[in-house]
Amino acid sequence: MVVIKRGDSWLGVSITAADVNELHQQLSMLQSLKLRHHLLIEWRLDYWQQLDIELLRIANQLIRQQLPYYPLLLTLRTVVEGGRCQLNATEYTEWLLMISHNLDWDLLDVMPLQLLDPSAFSKQLDCAEQQQLIYSYHHLKPSNFAENCAWLKQLAQYARPQDLIKLAVQTESLQNSLDLLNATLWLDYHSKQPLITMGMGQIGQITRQLGPIFGSVLSFGSLVSGGSAPGQLPLLQLDQLVN
């Protein structure tokens, strides 16, 4: 069964550990959580100190053993879209394929604009029917309603009906936030796929709180100081604010 469906309201939290010691600390924090909402665990592989598939396998097993009841999203974010990995299109494509074949996951983040050949990628991917892909784009500058709609429509072209599409944009004004929320509402009426949208930055926090009302099915909160993106609210606070 797929994990996230249209109409859902999930919270996400990112594991941003750089090594096994930090991973143990963050897993301990996650095990003690008590939330109102369903929780999805995102593992940010780009925070890990070294991209080595054997080391990642060991960490992957540890996460699965200690958090067996939470769905796991794997994300390898490049610098171009706000992450920490300096990878070109060939390297990013190869690493994503290697991750899909060698690690245990329920959802996998895919940045199609960073792939070598986005249209051919899904045919190469080792993806079971019950696993979901999140086709994502992170725009690090402010955008308007029309631009947001265009990016969401483009992402939707790559996704299967059970996959998700995700758009995160930099917000520097209330108008930026409203444009994103309105684009979310518009595409929610015109798309088969579940949507995830969020405004990055402090003024975009309102999009993280109100997203479910406009059709966004997942909002990320922070486990540790700073979180994994600018503007993330502490997870426990977000759990109380989101409907």
Write down the pLDDT at residue 119: 82
32-42: pLDDT as tens digits: 888 888 999 99
CB–CB of 157/170 below 8 Å?
no
CATH number at residue 190: 3.20.20.70
20: which residues sit within 8 A by CB, 6+ positions away? 58, 59, 62
* CB atoms closer than 10 angstroms to residue 65: 9
Please indicate, yes or no, if residue 3 is contained in any of the structural domains. no
Please indicate, yes or no, if residue 5 is contained in any of the structural domains. no
Q: pTM to 2 decimals?
A: 0.94
**Total count of domains within the chain:** 1
Please indicate, yes or no, if residue 77 is contained in any of the structural domains. yes
Residues 18-43 have a mean pLDDT of: 93
Query: Per mean pLDDT, which range of 71-85, 141-155, 211-225 is the poorest?
Result: 211-225
CB–CB of 12/73 below 8 Å?
yes
Give the Cα separation of 188 and 62 in Å (integer): 36
Write down the pLDDT at residue 177: 96
Write down the pLDDT at residue 226: 62
Q: Is 19 helix (H, G, I), strand (E, B) or coil?
A: coil
Q: In the structure, what pLDDT confidence band is assigned to residue 1 with cuts at 50, 70 and 90?
A: low
- Statement: residue 227 has pLDDT above 80: no
Residues 59-75 have a mean pLDDT of: 96
Q: Extract the tokens encoding 78.
A: 């490049």
Please indicate, yes or no, if residue 4 is contained in any of the structural domains. no
16 HSE (CA, 13 A, CB side):
15
Please indicate, yes or no, if residue 131 is contained in any of the structural domains. yes
Residues 235-239 have a mean pLDDT of: 89
Backbone angles phi, psi at 5, to 5 degrees: -125, 165
- Statement: residue 117 has pLDDT above 70: yes
Please indicate, yes or no, if residue 1 is contained in any of the structural domains. no
Greater confidence (184 vs 230) lies with: 184
80: which residues sit within 8 A by CB, 6+ positions away? 114
Q: Which residue range(s) make up the domain with 103? A: 10-241
The DSSP secondary-structure symbol of 97 reads H
Please indicate, yes or no, if residue 87 is contained in any of the structural domains. yes
The DSSP secondary-structure symbol of 201 reads S
Write down the pLDDT at residue 230: 65
What rounded mean pLDDT belongs to the chain? 92
Residues linked to residue 234 through DSSP beta bridges, in sequence order = 222
Q: Extract the tokens encoding 157.
A: 């072209």
Inter-CA distances, 140 with 2, 92, 143, 168, 200, Å: 30, 19, 9, 8, 8
Q: In the structure, what pLDDT confidence band is assigned to residue 122 with cuts at 50, 70 and 90?
A: confident
pLDDT over 70, % of the chain: 96
Please indicate, yes or no, if residue 136 is contained in any of the structural domains. yes
Q: In the structure, what pLDDT confidence band is assigned to residue 234 with cuts at 50, 70 and 90?
A: confident
pLDDT over 90, % of the chain: 74
